[in-house]
Amino acid sequence: MNRSERTGSAAGFWSDTEKGGIGAWLLSTDHKRIGLLYFWSVFGFFLVGVVLGLILRLELMAPGRTIMGPDAYNAFFTVHGVVMIFLFIIPGIPGAFGNMLMPIQIGARDVAFPRLNLLSWWLYATGAGVILLSLVTGGGPPDTGWTFYLPFSGRTATNVSLAVFGVFIVGFSSILTGINFVTTIHRLRAEGMIWGRLPLFVWSLYATAWVQILATPILGITLVLIIAERILGVGLFDPSRGGDPLMYQHLFWIYSHPAVYIMVLPAMGVVSEIIPVFARKPIFGYKMIAFSSLAIAAAGSLVWGHHMFTSGMSDTAVLVFSFLSFIVAIPSAIKVFNWISTLYRGSISLDPPMLFALSFILLFSIGGLTGLILGAAATDVHVHDTHFVVGHFHYVMFGGAGFAFFAAMHYWLPKFYGRMYARRPAVIAWGLMFVGFNILYFTMKVLGMKGMPRRYYDYLPEFATLNLVSTIGSWILALGLAVMLVNLFRGLWKGEPVTEANPWGGATLEWTIPTPPPTENFAEEPVVTHGPYDFRGAGIP
C-alpha cells in the first residue's frame, strides 16, 4: 500500500509505526493491523473455496462424468468444506471485523492481550498452511467430507491426519481469540461503557467468544482421537474392537453444531449495527437482541444430536434433541422481529451495506425456516443427507454469515482504508449475487425434496434439468462476486478519499475517531454518555 498516497496527514494507523516493511504488518500487535491481516487471509481462502465450489457445480451440471472422476470429486467437496468452514467462515467476522472494531467500539486502545492476538493470527496462518500442505503431500487431499466421519476417515489412504492436524491448530487460534475477546470486553471498557451501552456487535462477539472457548476444546480432542485412531489404531470408535462410531459423531457435533453459532452470531451482530444506521432509527428491543445472542449461544450448545437422527440414537434422544432444536428458533426469531420493527417507519436509505444486511434477513430466514424441517425428526428422515440439507446450510452460512461479511466490508472498510468504493457497481454486484444465490441454492432444496442425495458424484437423469439451473445460478453468483471484488479493490486503492469521521451517520464509537483510525484509536480515553444507537447523541436509552 502506498502510504504517502493515503489521505494526507490523516494516514492513521497505516503509517504510524517504527518498523517498516512487511514486518510492520506480520509482527504488529495493533488490533487494526491484525484485523486486516485476518481480513485478507480469510478473504483469500473464501475465494479458494468459491473456485472449488464452482468446479463442484460444474461437475454436477450434467449426469455422469463431466470434468472429473469420482475420487477427485470426493476430494473437491471435502476441501471446499474444510476451507470454507475452518478457514473462512469461523474465523471470518470475529477475526477480521471483531479485531478491527471491537476494541474501538468499547473505547479501548487494543485488546487485552495484543501479543496473544498476533499469535492467534500466526496459528491461523500455520494451520492453514498445514491444511494446504495436506493437499499436495502424502496420499493426496482428504476425501472424507469436512466432518471426518469415522470409520472411513480412519481407513482412507488420503492425507487425513495432516489435514486434521491443521484444523487442530486453527482451532487453537479460535480459542485464543475467544479468550482475548472475553477478557477485553470484561476489563477494557471505557468509562461509561456499561453493559447496557455495548454495541450489539460487541454483544454478539461476546456470546461467540464463549462458544469458542467452551466448544472448541472438544473439537480439539476429537481431532486428536482421529489422528490416534489412524496412527495407533486405538479402536475407540471401531465396533470390531469394542468402540462405537456414534461416540465420534457425538463428540464431533458437540463442537460443530455450536460452531454454526460461531459463524452466524457475529453476522447477526453486524446486521444489528447496520440496520439502525440506515433506517435512521434507534434499534428496536436492544436488550432482547443482546439477550438473544446469549440465548442462542446457550441453547445452540444443546442441540448437536439433531445431526444424528438417522445414525442410530435411541428414540428418546431423537425426541429430546428435536425439541431442543426448536428452542433455538425462538431467540433467532426475536432478532428477526426486532430488525423488522427497527425498519418499520424508518427513513431507510438503500446504500450497499444496507442491501446486504436486508438480504441477510431474507436469506437467513429462509435458511432458518428450512432448518425447522430438518430439526423435526420425522421430516428429517425424509430429507436427511439430501441436497435439501446442502441448500439449507448454504442459506444460513453463505446467505447469512457470508452476506453479513460482505455487508461489513461495505460498511467498515472505507473507515479503515480512508477511501470509498463506487456505489453503482456495488449495487449491481449485490443484485447479481442475490439472484444467483437463490437460483443456485433454492434449486438444491427442490432437488433434495425430490430425493437427490448430497455428496454423490452422479445422479439419475430426472435431476438433470434442476442441476443445470443450479449450476447456471452459480455462474451468476460468481459474476456478482467478481464485480464486487473489482469494485472493492479499485475503491480501496484509488477510490474517492474519505476524510470525515462518520460517512454513514453511525452513533457507535468507531465513528467518532478520525478516518482512518490513528494507531492508539483515541487521543484520550473516551467517556461514554449515551447508547450506541442514540442518533441524537444525547440522553441514555
Partner 1 sequence: MSHATHRDYAGAKLGMWLFLFTEMLLFGGLFILYAVYLHRYPAEFAAAGHRLDLVLGTANTVILLTSSLLAALAVTAVQRDEGRVAFRALGGTILCAGLFLGIKYAEWSAKISHGIYPGSPDLAAGPPGESVFFGLYYLTTGLHGLHVLIGGVLLTVVARRVKGGRVHAGDYIWLENGALYWHLVDLVWIFIFPLYYLML
Contact residues for partner 1, defined by CB under 8 A: 29, 109-110, 112-114, 116, 175, 178-180, 182-183, 186-188, 213-214, 216-218, 220-222, 224-225, 228, 232-236, 240-244, 247, 250-251, 519-520
CB of 513 to partner 1, least distance (A): 16
DSSP state of 147: T
Residue 65: CB partners within 8 Å, gap ≥ 6? Answer: 458
Nearer to partner 1 by Cβ, of 234 and 482: the residue is 234
- The grid coordinates listed for 202 are 460487541
Q: Which is nearer to partner 1, 247 or 472 (CB)?
A: 247
- Crossing angle for the helix pair 245-279 and 315-343, to the nearest 10 degrees: 10
Minimum separation from the CB atom of position 179 to partner 1 (A): 5
Of the candidates 492, 304, 527, 355, the residue with the CA atom closest to the CA atom of residue 413: 492
Query: Are 518 and 16 contacting, i.e. CB atoms less than 8 angstroms apart?
Result: yes
Amino acid residing at 88: F
Give the residue with the Cβ less far from partner 1, 29 or 311: 29
Burial state string for 341-371 with b = 16 or more CB within 10 A and e = fewer than 16: ebbeebeeeebbbbbbbbbbbebbbbbbebb
Nearer to partner 1, 523 or 538 (CB): 523
Q: By C-beta, is 183 or 379 nearer to partner 1?
A: 183
The whole-angstrom separation of Cα 149 and Cα 126 is 24
In the complex, least distance from residue 225 CB atom to partner 1, rounded to whole angstroms: 7
CB of 184 to partner 1, least distance (A): 8
CA distance 208 to 456: 33
Minimum Å gap between C-beta 20 and partner 1 is: 16
Q: Which is nearer to partner 1, 26 or 420 (CB)?
A: 26
Nearest CB to partner 1, comparing residues 155 and 423: 155
Cα separation of 267 and 270, whole Å?
5
State the nearest-atom distance from the C-beta of 98 to partner 1, in Å: 16
Q: How many CA atoms within 13 Å lie on the side-chain side of 73?
A: 17
Reduce the DSSP state of residue 83 to 3 states and report it: helix
Cell 465420534 found at: 248
Residue with Cβ nearer partner 1 (237 or 339): 237
Smallest distance from partner 1 to CB 122, Å: 17
Closer to partner 1 by CB, 175 or 396: give it: 175
Contact status, residue 296 vs residue 257, Cβ threshold 8 Å: no
Shortest Cβ 49–partner 1 spacing (Å): 27
- Measured N-to-C along each axis, helices 403-417 and 352-375 cross at an angle, to the nearest 10 degrees, of 150
Q: How far is the CB of 374 from partner 1 (least distance, A)?
A: 25
d(CA 171, CA 254): 14
